[in-house]
Chain A
Amino acid sequence: MTFLPEALHLATYPLEGSFQKVDGNEVLRAIGRDSLTAEGFLALLSPAASPHLEAMASRARDLTMRHFGRTVSLFTPLYLSNHCANHCRYCGFAARNTIPRTQLNLEEVRAEGEAIAATGLKQILLLTGEAPHKAGVDYLEACVAVLRPLFPSIAIEVFPMETEDYARLVRAGVDGLTVFQETYDPELYAQLHPAGPKRDFVFRLNTPQRGAEAGMRIVNIGALLGLSDWRREIFATGLHAAWLQRQYPGVDIAVSLPRMRPHAGDFEPACVVSDRDLVQAMTALRIFLPRLSVTISTRETPRFRDNILPLGVTRMSAGVSTAVGGHAKPAETGQFEISDGRSVAEVCQVLRARGYQPVFKDWEPLEASA
């Protein structure tokens, strides 16, 4: 069983009409319910919910507090390689962009790891493009072996793999998988990914499931906001997350809300997702799925990140460089421009000032017995 049938049904469903039909009373009912159906979630994403944003925020804060307390988990990305065979029209690392291509050797990986570890962070997210002949499973396994002594929690945001490959990386010490569908609209997906292995919509859609089956503890999904109507995309993302939670109750399902940022290349967002929209998306997700982890990246400004903290955020990146090798030495061209350049120490200080505890380590898996 996969999420595909539901995704395809959604893709052809005239959701715009459904969003327009919602009235304010439906929104208020949805805010007050103990558990929400997909219809209730849809109501919270509708234009009719906009006047009730404060009520949504209040409910989202209560639910977040109840399920996660005053804690925010911190991590930082470590870019290993920017080689990529894909042609994603919105990405700075796309194959056609003439940027310097590099890949860290294991010594450089160690140097990056040590620079990050010196900030106190214990959770990292390893990133590559999609060039498995250069940065494939063997390479990742070798990098994890180098980094494992420094970091109790290692997640990957690389390229979709088969379950057996994920299982290999889990055995090597990887416990998290991040993979964004980018868009849940198959037609738009085809336009945005004209060439390269990423063209395969279905294989990508089922990737979070393969990660969960392979034993990942955290599976983080998301749509790149700005590619199309955000209400549709968040609705699909929420239903995908709900499906994963139901199928894999032992896995922590997380959602990211990445808004498009300026990047190398000439792609312009199809729609602008305002701050208000993003708050509506995040609080709706929180009310629909109270125990969902929500990740906010440094794509967002410090002011915005600090303000949305209580509304449902549970994971944040900090001390970020989106360039390969950017932690140990000054940055080259990154994947996208970041907005929050604060150091780990600065972010921690802000969190504490707002009454939140920055969490560096949620757990440390016991070593597998020999």
Chain B
Amino acid sequence: MEQTDTFELGGRALTSRLFTGTGKYGDDGLIPAVCEASGSQVITVALRRVDLDKGADNVMRHIPGHMTLLPNTSGARTADEAVRIARLARAMGCGNWIKIEVISDNRYLLPDGYETVRATEILAREGFVVLPYMNPDLYVARSLANAGAAAIMPLGAPIGTNRGLRTEEMIRILIEEMSLPIIVDAGIGTPSQACQAMEMGAHACLVNTAIATAADPIGMARAFGQAVQAGRRAYLAGLGSVAALARASSPLTGFLDQEEGGI
């Protein structure tokens, strides 16, 4: 089962459906162990100006070589800024995946759908594997699909809140209606919430804060890895029905067994 259940994305065949991040760690030195414990194969990074006084912070040296790098465009407030960051990220020579994040409201950190669609359109045309972070809105999802997104990343709750799948019903609709992969991003605070997203049929989850800020990030990484796997297995196994047993009497179909009268 594990061998056949691969997640094809951007030309890679992923066996893990947990994406991790590199933000908010007390010690970046934990990252290799987190990657190993979680089983994750995709990891996000951000692009920032080099601190001229401190020199370049090199998060890259902590990231194991087999990981697929998913740079994000955090800091972008418009589509043009996201495009600029994406091109710079690609110039680093670490692949052509990009997670689009366009946010101009710093209070709630909610993504700007219109600008995100615009950036997706431009970058998909330039050959990027585009994974846009989005509010789970069906129309935006369709626009992103038409714009050439490789997958969409709906938020479960606002970034960093650890509040879980607050947008569950909306994400369920995306899973129903969209044919491109759904990667639940943001808001997942506990392994059980990640598991729930996978049971619902999400293709993958991205978890950063909940791992990075746990008392034991490595232990939490392992727990998330297992939860995502369990949820996926449950989804594939086909969840059982809830109370679908026939009643003893047949109030709705009884007429089929009775004599037809007078017709």
Contact = CB atoms under 8 A, between A and B. Distances in A.
A246 B177 CA distance: 7
Nearest to A249: B177
Q: Is the interface of B mostly helix, strand, loop or mixed?
A: loop
A51 B257 CA distance: 13
B240 A29 contact: yes
Given A303-B260, A303-B261, A29 B247 contact: no
Interface of A: 28-35, 51-55, 57-59, 61, 246, 249, 275-276, 279, 301-304, 307, 310-311, 339
Contact of A33 (B241, B255, B260): B241
A358 to B, nearest CB: 21
B255 A311 contact: no
Contacts of B243: 32
B92 interface: no
Contacts of B176: 35
B158 to A, nearest CB: 26
A44 to B, nearest CB: 11
Q: Helix, strand, loop or mixed for chain A's interface?
A: helix
Interface in B232-249: 238-247
A47 to B, nearest CB: 16
Interface in B167-185: 172, 176-177
B263 A301 contact: yes
Contact of B242 (A32, A249, A279, A302): A32
Contacts of A339: 263
20 contacts: A28-B244, A29-B240, A31-B244, A32-B241, A35-B176, A53-B256, A54-B251, A54-B252, A54-B253, A55-B245, A55-B246, A57-B252, A57-B253, A58-B252, A61-B252, A301-B263, A302-B263, A303-B261, A303-B263, A339-B263
Contacts of B261: 303
A32 B244 CA distance: 5
Contacts of A59: 244
B255 A307 contact: yes
Contacts, number: 59
Contact of B253 (A33, A246, A279, A301): A279
Interface residues of B, number: 22
B168 to A, nearest CB: 12
A54 B246 contact: yes
Contact of A58 (B239, B240, B247, B256): B247
Given A55-B244, A303-B255, A303-B260, 4 more contacts: A29-B244, A31-B244, A58-B247, A59-B244
Interface of B: 172, 176-177, 238-247, 250-253, 255-256, 260-261, 263
Contacts of B250: 54
B200 to A, nearest CB: 9
B252 A310 contact: yes
A276 B252 CA distance: 12
A279 B252 CA distance: 10
Contact of A28 (B239, B245, B247, B252): B245
B253 A53 contact: yes
Contacts of B240: 29, 32
A310 to B, nearest CB: 7
B170 to A, nearest CB: 15
Contacts of B238: 29
A247 B149 CA distance: 18
Given A33-B239, A301-B263, A311 B246 contact: no
B260 A54 contact: no
A30 B245 CA distance: 12
A133 to B, nearest CB: 41
Nearest to A276: B256
Contacts of B245: 28, 55
Nearest to B242: A32
A275 B256 contact: yes
Contacts of A304: 255
B87 to A, nearest CB: 32
A339 B263 CA distance: 9
Contacts of A57: 252-253
A276 B247 CA distance: 18
Contacts of A279: 253, 256
A54 B176 CA distance: 27
Contacts of A30: 241
B254 to A, nearest CB: 8
A58 to B, nearest CB: 6
A184 to B, nearest CB: 23
Contacts of A32: 240-244
Nearest to A308: B255
Nearest to B257: A276
A302 B260 CA distance: 11
A61 B251 CA distance: 11
Contacts of A249: 177
A226 to B, nearest CB: 18
A311 B255 CA distance: 12
B141 to A, nearest CB: 12
Contacts of B246: 51-52, 54-55, 58
Nearest to A29: B241
Nearest to A32: B241
A301 B239 CA distance: 39
A34 B239 CA distance: 10
A225 B123 CA distance: 50
